[in-house]
Structure formats: C-alpha cells, structure tokens
Structure 1
C-alpha cells in the first residue's frame, strides 16, 4: 500500500462514499486550453482542500531496484576493499567506484524521492509527478466536463504505472488500480486523464465540494 499524506477540509465526513453518483458533470464547462502549467503555485491564493502524496511502496518494485544496488556494492567491496578483481573482465578501480556511486547510491535515492502529489484547491485540480514535473499542472474546474472515481486495469488500459499514455487517454499513477478519471476540454478536443489515488472517493468528493463553492 502506498504512503498517503492527505489534508482534508470537509464540513462533514462521508458515511458511505459508494452512494455518490458518478460520473458528475461540472457546472458551466467552457472550452479552454488546459491543463495550465503553474510556474510558482505557492504564489497563488488558492486554498488546498485535499492533498494526497503517493510514493513507491510495492515490495516487488523495491526488490527489482535492489538487484543493481546489491551487485554494485558487492563488486566494490570485493575489488576496492579486498583487492580481488570482480568478474572475468574486471573494470578499473575508478570505474568500479563510479558504478558504485551511480547504481549503489544515486539509483535508489532517485526512486525513493519519486512521488505523485495531487491537490484539490478552490480554483482547480493540481497534479505533480516529482521529479519529472518541475511544477504543478493545473486543471481548472471550468475545463472539466466530467469526473468519476473508478477501478481500472493499469497495464491493460495505460501500459503500467508512472506517467503513461494509452488508447484511453493519459494517466498519472503510482500504485494500485483505483483513481479518478477526468474528462476535460483542450481547445476543441475532449481529453481524458486518469489520476491514480488510494482514496479516489475522497478525491472525487473534494472535487465536488470545491466546484460548488
């Protein structure tokens, strides 16, 4: 299960999120060129009504990441500390040290800091897939036609997890098979975006409440 850091500001707590009627149509949709990229979202006066932070938490993913990490540390230990050449065609010591730095240190640190941040503010939905997005991508409520919380197949529908592009639209997802599907206008075109979430009902409820204000 992914780690979730969320900030909710609801008047009342939902007793049964399954009773919500999705998909929901947004009020007064307009055709605008969105999503909009925020250069510095901290300078906006928008209030954060919902926040979810997802990081890599699947054990099988970390086991795959651990393979080059363990291999590089073991090779460096054998060759640099014990003085035993590593492998049939050993690399120079400087290259072994470089491999240790890249695959033994930077590689796992990079994956540790990957996170998907989703916020609902009073002026739209903000999504940032760190470190691939330098800033938040904003989806104003005026551009959103419909949204719905649902269960989907990440591999079949979008080809996996991460920043994905598929036949059913784009997706930002970190783990699991649940999320909120947005349908929004981009110029004269209708586009779809799946935002992966561990609590999609609460995300959809936050969108509904923010749009009513």
Structure 2
C-alpha cells in the first residue's frame, strides 16, 4: 500500500491575491524591458546603468526564475492521513512536514488575522512559539502540541476538521 492510499483529505492552495501577483509581474516586466533595451538595442537604462553581465544575471533571477518559482510552483498542500497531518509548502519543503496525531493535544478551526498574529502569509513564526503555514485568507486550523502551536491556513476549515476527527477517532 502506498503512502498516498491513506489520504483522507487533501487541499492544494495557490496564491490568489493581487498583492502578490502585481508587484512580482511588475518587477519581471521591468527586468525584461531593461534587458531588451540594453542588451539587444544598446540603449543604457537608468542614470547609473548596470553592466550587461549584471543586467543579464538580474534578468535571469528576477525576470525568469523568481516569477516561475513563486507564481508557477508556489502552493500549500495539506493532507490528513491515517497517522497524522501532512503539510508541504512547495518549493520550500522538499518533503512533507508530518504532525502525528499522537503528538497533538488539541485542534480547532479558527478565524484569525495573519498580519496581526504572524506578520503576513507564508511560513511564519511569532514570539508565542507559534508557526503558521498559510497561503491567503484568514481561516485556518489551530493545532496545539505540548511545546508549540501551529496554524494551518485553509479555505475549508470545516472539512479539514471533519477529516481530522475521523482519522483521530479511528486511531
């Protein structure tokens, strides 16, 4: 039996907010414009232009790699399996982060402010020994452990809770 066979719940979240897309695409377009103007047409860009080599490196990083990685690959995968909760924030986690049911002391769906509680979205830490894995929105699942708390952002908190309840009760 494969590890995927016991998946009871799966949610994949991708970035939806314009606050992420617009600045990222604006920087990428600026890099493409500067690259084409300076490298192909020979028109220096700006009052203190970078060398062609530096501009090519910046173009590759901010015009190609950054948008592809963060807008094309970025996703938060949440799974409930028979033994626990599995989180993977692609491309930052190569493997799933596993939170076993045997280590969980309590859990509940919450509505929270990611900006106030964690300073934003993504993989975030705060001074109360809490870790957040969130993509967007303000709903999530708060999971208590002996020494720390994690908050997992979800668009379907009730379904996630039902899946955890069912897997937790069978354990």
User: Residue 82 of structure 2 corresponds to which residue in structure 1?
Assistant: 122
User: Residue 154 of structure 2 corresponds to which residue in structure 1?
Assistant: 197
Which of these residues, 82, 89, 95, is aligned with residue 135 of structure 1?
Answer: 95
- Per-residue deviation at 1:134? 1.9
Which string of whole-angstrom CA distances, capped at 9 and with x for unpartnered residues, describes residues 69-110 of structure 1? 111111112112222111122222222222211111011012
The 4+ residue runs of structure 1 with deviation greater than 3 A are: 42-46
Structure 1 unpaired stretches of 5+: 1-41
2:169 matches 1:208 = no
User: Residue 176 of structure 1 corresponds to which residue in structure 2?
Assistant: 137
1:68 partner SS: helix
> TM-score, normalization: structure 2?
0.91
Higher relative contact order (CA 8 A, sep 6+): 1
Structure 2 unpaired stretches of 5+: none
Which string of whole-angstrom CA distances, capped at 9 and with x for unpartnered residues, describes residues 28-85 of structure 1? xxxxxxxxxxxxxx96476000001111111121111122211111111211222211
User: Residue 60 of structure 1 corresponds to which residue in structure 2?
Assistant: 19
2:117 partner SS: helix
The CA RMSD over aligned residues, in Å, is 1.7
1:205 partner SS: helix
> TM-score, normalization: structure 1?
0.74
1:148 partner SS: strand
Q: Report the Cα distance in structure 2 between the residues aligned to 1:184 and 1:68, rounded to whole angstroms.
A: 41
The farther-off stretch of 194-203 and 133-142 is 133-142
The farther-off stretch of 198-207 and 130-139 is 130-139
